[in-house]
Chain A
């Protein structure tokens, strides 16, 4: 594996770059002033629950950005809005120069839950998204097998989902998303339900896929270690009502080791900031159980 050229050499970790004004073009995703609230019925009372309160950030083509935050802070809602699955109350999402208002194949999500179709084989699952395109059957199969090879599941092409382990399923999900060749991959705690060992393997795999495909990836997690060891940048969401509290640049070449002192330092800072976030009267942890 080659070491990518350090773009901002020797910068270490830069913090609190507000809005990144020295924007290196092109920006594939621009999220501006995003607000979202839900109306919650709590017994007879109707309460407004502000989940996102002015979220701003942008991503360059090919960038791998991770998002961490206390549970219940609206990470999933943020991804849903970017994918066009949910509408925001205020603000805009611009993907590839176009405003997002409905689901489209430019942004494809990978979920924490098992979202693969149990009635289809692995290959059929991976090629599912191509059914909506003008792509012939043979071509569909070729693309599917290409991505299955990428996640090293070629041998399981004809298996059904119940024959796969949790980690294998998530690899199929990654292949299925890549097969559509979206502009951006939205990953919603994709490894959250896996055991520690499997997580590490999948983290290594997503890193190498990113190296290979240079796909733009927005990766949400509540695991700070995971966020730092994967991302070029880590965004810290504050507790509800959420906004981007801080940004950390992780300028460490890949493959990374969790023992790398610089990685450790960033992890330390985020954990500190997160602690402050939780203790500072943020309802994040407390109300978290009612809604995520």
Chain B
């Protein structure tokens, strides 16, 4: 019910946006090749999809995303756990991570090109450095914020080592970990598109770049719409659903049901 209403709102927003766009187009503020009509962009989107150009772009981009994001998550979880276990390391890494978290990801690109190479690996590198520090910091915070009473109770029942981690620490920190994952995903996604514009020959970012190269505004906007849609789907349909489910099963939800 709530989801349906939310979706309706999104559609309504899009319709209003398209009407405004069409009005600006009719007003001839810009020449049509710089600002095409919504219909022209839709045509281009369909054409790109039919030619396979769009599908390939999405496939390559999502592949890189999956690779970079997984590396970030595993690395971030591992280092975050080590930070909790070794308190001095944790304190040092935490201030380091918080600092690097706000470092613009695009600024890593020259570094990555020279050190790693102008290839997929370089792009993945940029994504990882853009998101791993946020993942570390949020893992660290999530684990440290576990109510000590849970750990005390578990140890009292004879739970220790790996069982303590998988049975108590991980589930107890899950609500904040999911929020951390969502944030890390967002950092990785931003970095990926930026890196693709500068470093890739295939992928959605590359489609944007070629659009600018050949002054194809319809292609640029069509690619932007695709990027927007992927972000929306991941955030609304994956992360927020997971987050909501985790939170509501623990009575943490503020929504009235």
Contacts and interface: CB of A to CB of B under 8 A. Distances in A.
Given A132-B158, A132-B159, A180-B157, A117 B171 contact: yes
Nearest to B253: A162
Give the most central of B158, B168, B172, B251: most A CB within 10 Å: B158
Interface residues of B, number: 20
B150 interface: yes
A15 B156 CA distance: 34
B250 A131 contact: no
Nearest to A84: B156
A237 interface: no
B249 A129 contact: no
B164 to A, nearest CB: 10
B250 A118 contact: yes
Interface string A108-135: 1101011111111000000011011000
Contacts of A162: 250-252
Interface string A214-238: 0000000000000000000000000
A85 interface: yes
Interface of A: 83, 85, 103-105, 107-109, 111, 113-120, 128-129, 131-132, 160-163, 176, 180
Nearest to B152: A85
A129 B157 contact: yes
Contacts of B168: 117
Given A117-B172, A160-B251, A109 B159 contact: no
A115 B171 contact: no
Given A109-B153, A119-B174, A119-B249, 9 more contacts: A103-B158, A108-B156, A129-B158, A129-B159, A131-B159, A132-B157, A160-B251, A161-B251, A162-B250
A267 to B, nearest CB: 31
B149 A111 contact: yes
B153 A111 contact: yes
B251 A119 contact: no
A229 B89 CA distance: 52
Contact of A131 (B150, B156, B163): B163
Nearest to A125: B153
Chain B residues touching A, majority SS: helix
Nearest to A164: B251
B166 to A, nearest CB: 10
B55 interface: no
Contacts of B158: 103-105, 129, 132, 180
Contacts of B174: 119
Given A109-B156, A132-B159, A160-B251, A117 B150 contact: yes
Nearest to A128: B157
The 9 tightest CB contacts between A and B, nearest first, are: A162-B251, A129-B157, A115-B153, A118-B250, A119-B171, A105-B158, A132-B158, A115-B149, A103-B155
A117 B174 CA distance: 12
Contacts of B153: 109, 111, 115-116
A180 B153 CA distance: 12
B167 interface: yes
B134 to A, nearest CB: 24
A122 to B, nearest CB: 13
Contacts of A131: 159, 163, 167
Contacts of B150: 115, 117
B257 to A, nearest CB: 12
A115 B174 CA distance: 17
Contacts of B154: 128
A108 B149 contact: no
A76 to B, nearest CB: 11
A131 B164 CA distance: 11
B172 A85 contact: no
Contact of B250 (A113, A115, A119): A119
24 contacts: A83-B156, A85-B152, A103-B155, A103-B158, A104-B158, A108-B156, A109-B152, A109-B156, A111-B149, A111-B152, A111-B153, A115-B153, A118-B250, A118-B251, A119-B172, A120-B171, A128-B159, A129-B159, A131-B167, A132-B159, A160-B249, A160-B250, A161-B251, A180-B158
Given A103-B156, A105-B158, A115-B149, A163 B251 contact: yes
Contacts of A119: 171-172, 174, 249-250
A3 B170 CA distance: 48
Nearest to B149: A115
Nearest to A83: B156
A206 B120 CA distance: 65
Nearest to A114: B149
Contacts of B152: 85, 109, 111, 115
A176 to B, nearest CB: 8
Nearest to B249: A160
